[in-house]
Amino acid sequence: MVKKKCCVFISGKGTNLVALIKSSREYNFPVIIDLIVSNEKNAKGLNFAKIFNIDYRIYNINKKKHFEILLNELNKRKISLICLAGYMKILSKEFIERFRGKIINIHPSLLPKYKGLNTFTKAIKNKDKQAGCTVHYVNKKLDSGQIILQKKVIINRNDTEKSLKEKIQKKEYKAYSEAVRKIFSNINS
Ligand code: GRF
């Protein structure tokens, strides 16, 4: 199978990145991770680029110069999919337009509930019975693009923000790879 090329954008720990890298090494996974982009030069997740021997770049793509360099790089590499994995910058409208339908994100809530930050705090504070994560396409409105898939967890009475985050993140690692498979099986069917 000829795998498409994917670029993962990170800002932090990169635990979703590593889950995607591991899936991408499976024989029938539709993409390889060709490039990792971080806006933070000290992002812990960049260690995974080194461990797994994947090219990485550090860009502030909201700076015009970096934006142009990155666009060239993504085009030159023929990147088919951009996965945001804990990427903490808002992408410019221009960037989203250039890669329309090719950028996806993972968000730690059952969208459309709790867009933006502090999703675990909100779910606990509101005494929600369930929470989860969503993989969705990125459009020009924050956390509002078409949903690809969601995974749910039950919130117990003794859950804290920390325990809820851990539960949801475990689901995220499966959800992101499943969503990528789903996108390409839709394209190929
Ligand atoms: C994840 O929980 C994801 O839902 C959110 O940012 C977090 C990134 O964590 N968008 P990591 O860097 O993948 O460990």
The model's pLDDT over 105-151, given as tens digits with 9 standing for 90+, comes to 999 999 999 999 999 999 999 999 999 999 999 999 999 999 999 99
Residue 85 tokens read as 């994995």
**13 pocket-lining for ligand 1 (C-beta < 6 Å):** yes
Q: Can you tell me the distance from the alpha carbon of 106 to that of 135, in angstroms, rounded to the nearest whole number?
A: 4
pLDDT computed for residue 189 by the predictor: 60
Question: What does pTM read for this prediction?
Answer: 0.96
Per-residue pLDDT tens digits for 3-33: 999 999 999 999 999 999 999 999 999 999 9
Quick check: is 136 catalytic? Answer: no
Question: Which H helix or E strand runs over 168?
Answer: helix 161-188
What's the mean pLDDT in 161-168? 97
Please tell me the distance between residue 189's alpha carbon and the centre of ligand 1 in angstroms.
Answer: 30
pLDDT computed for residue 188 by the predictor: 63
For strand 130-137 and strand 147-154, is the pairing parallel, antiparallel, or unpaired? antiparallel
Atom of ligand 1 nearest to the CA of 133: 4
pLDDT computed for residue 1 by the predictor: 78
Per-residue pLDDT tens digits for 57-101: 999 887 888 889 999 999 999 999 999 999 999 999 999 999 999
pLDDT computed for residue 48 by the predictor: 98
Q: Can you tell me the distance from the alpha carbon of 145 to that of 163, in angstroms, rounded to the nearest whole number?
A: 28
**132 pocket-lining for ligand 1 (C-beta < 6 Å):** no
pLDDT computed for residue 46 by the predictor: 98
Question: Which H helix or E strand runs over 82?
Answer: strand 79-84
How would you write 35-59 as a 3-class SS string? EEEECCCCCCCHHHHHHCCCEEEEC
What's the mean pLDDT in 170-178? 98
What's the mean pLDDT in 142-170? 97
Q: Which domains does the chain have, with CATH numbers?
A: 4-188 (3.40.50.170)
Please tell me the distance between residue 86's alpha carbon and the centre of ligand 1 in angstroms.
Answer: 4
Going by C-beta distance under 8 Å and a sequence separation of 6 or more, which residues neighbour residue 44? 12, 13, 14
Percent of the chain with pLDDT over 90: 90
**174 pocket-lining for ligand 1 (C-beta < 6 Å):** no
For strand 147-154 and strand 31-38, is the pairing parallel, antiparallel, or unpaired? unpaired
Of 1, 66, 28, the C-alpha closest to 9 is: 66
What's the mean pLDDT in 144-162? 97
